[in-house]
Amino acid sequence: MSHAAELPLIVAVLVGLLVLTGAVLTLIGSLGLVRLGDFYERLHAPTLGTSFGMACVLLGSVLFFSVQKGRPVVHEVLIGLLVVTTTPVTLMLLGRAALHRDRQEGNRRVPASARPTRQPRAP
């Protein structure tokens, strides 16, 4: 890492903290994939990594390259935009696919429709 030798200490500490925070958040999200018990619960787990986990790592990268090159380097924003716009789409598609499959199999634990089921009227 000889390229980092001339970096100011405060920047190095800041970059290290940002990258570590992002990695810890992502790890907790992925641990959720292992620990949570149900598919619909596990659907929430990856969003930890794709929201603030990724934001922290990207910020660290932007800060590092901007200081190292002596000019603003912000093209990491593109990755952030891409992930922020695509993650909800994939997770929504997956949720709907799972709901569809569960309903086809007659799984009782998922709601039969988005509308509340009306109680049949007493005769």
Nearest to 68 by CA among 10, 17, 7, 16: 7
Residue 107 binds to another protein (criterion: CB under 8 A): no
Does residue 36 sit in helix, strand or coil?
A: coil
115 vs 122 by CB, closer to another protein:
115
Residue 66 as a binder of another protein (CB under 8 A): the answer is no
CA-based max dimension of the chain: 84
Question: Does residue 97 bind another protein (CB under 8 A)?
Answer: yes
Q: In the set 70, 106, 108, 116, which binds another protein (CB under 8 A)?
A: 116
Quick one: which of 66, 70, 89, 106 contacts another protein (CB under 8 A)?
A: 89
Q: Kindly state whether residue 59 participates in binding another protein, applying the rule CB under 8 A.
A: no
77 contributes a contact to another protein by CB under 8 A: yes
- Looking at residue 24, its amino acid is V
* Angle, helices 54-69/9-35, rounded to nearest 10 degrees: 160
